[in-house]
Amino acid sequence: MKIEHSAFDLLPGLRDRIIDPAESKFRFLDYVEIDRRAAEAGYPPDWRRTDEEREAMRAEFFAGREGQSVWVFAYGSLMWDPGFYFDEVRVGHASGFQRKFCLNMTRGRGSEETPGLMAALDEGAGCQGLVFRIAAEHADHETAVIWRREMISYGYDPRFVPVETDIGSVEAMTFVVNKSGGRYLGDLDLDASARRIATATGINGSNRDYADNLAAQLQLLGLSDPEFEALHERVRAHP
């Protein structure tokens, strides 16, 4: 399986800026190893959803949409490392939401000693990102891949939202912050947020690299996010 060149017809500059799903660690998550590391770090046994719980949620979420293509709105790392196969990508704008670094992160690109911040969709004036279309014949398998990554714990709530593109509106699956999930930090002070991102590191690398990758992808696409740009400037200035 591969991503056809035609998937990038509207955004040819993305061809070299999207990690091939076959090379993405997020496509092949080893939950046994993840659980082992979580136990070593002192996490309780119920820190994540069980496979059965996660799949039951996915089945309920997509009930009535079986056999249909699925659009996915990406605003963070899915913009350069989706981990799933798609057959079209466009720039999209989700009204009523905003990209915010508002989730406490002590795994992945953070740790208990150096906690970082993860991006999520929160209420706001609007968010620009990418919207990917997964073909109907691959939707069940590829959404399972996405849910193994994004719905592993309790940071997000899945939701279908309207997304505007240059050639029409689509209804896309995305992941909105779960404010009752125990990780939501709300609106942190700009300097405090920048300090966390600049200093956090974990088994997947540094939080700073995540912010740099996001900034590069937004710049490549010509997308504006004044709040993130101000935050990223502070991160870059941090020693």
Instruction: Give dist(CA 89, CA 74) in Å, integer.
Output: 10
Chain-centroid distance, C-alpha 232: 18
Instruction: Give the C-alpha separation, 60 to 40, whole Å.
Output: 33
Q: For 18-22, 28-32, 141-145, which range has the lowest pLDDT when averaged over its residues? A: 28-32
pLDDT of residue 156: 95
Q: Tell me if 7 sits within 8 A of 217, measured CB to CB.
A: no
CATH architecture of 5-237: Roll (3.10)
**Model confidence at 44: pLDDT above 90:** no
Give per-residue pLDDT as tens, 139-157: 999 999 999 999 999 999 9
Task: Please give the average per-residue pLDDT across 107-111, as a whole number.
Answer: 85
Q: Name residue, tokens 């974990």.
A: 202
**Residue 66 pLDDT:** 93
- What burial letters (b/e) apply to 44-77, b meaning 16+ CB within 10 Å? eeebbbeeeebeeebeebbeeeeeebbbbbbbbb
**Are β-strands 168-177 and 70-74 bridged in parallel, bridged antiparallel, or unpaired?**
parallel
With 80 as the cut, is the pLDDT of residue 41 above it?
A: no
Task: Flag whether pLDDT at 187 surpasses 90.
Answer: no
- In whole angstroms, give the CA distance from residue 15 to residue 53: 35
H-helix or E-strand spanning residue 233 = helix 226-237
If phi > 0 it is left, if psi is from -120 to 50 it is alpha, else beta; for residue 67 that is left
Catalytic residue (one of 150, 164, 227, 229)? 150
Q: Is 90 exceeded by the pLDDT of residue 5?
A: yes
What does the alpha-carbon distance between residue 142 and residue 83 come to, in Å, rounded to a whole number?
9
pLDDT surpasses 90 at 202: no
Segment 53-91, tens digit of pLDDT = 999 999 999 999 999 999 999 999 999 999 999 999 999
Per-residue pLDDT band at 224 (split at 50, 70, 90): very high
CA 225/CA 126 separation, integer angstroms: 9
What is the reported pLDDT for 97?
Answer: 97
The pLDDT assigned to 101 comes to 96
Residue ranges covered by each domain of the chain: 5-237
Maximal C-alpha separation, the chain: 51
Active-site residue, 150 included: yes
Which secondary structure element, helix H or strand E, spans residue 164, and what is its range?
Answer: strand 156-165
Which is higher by pLDDT, 218 or 38?
Answer: 218
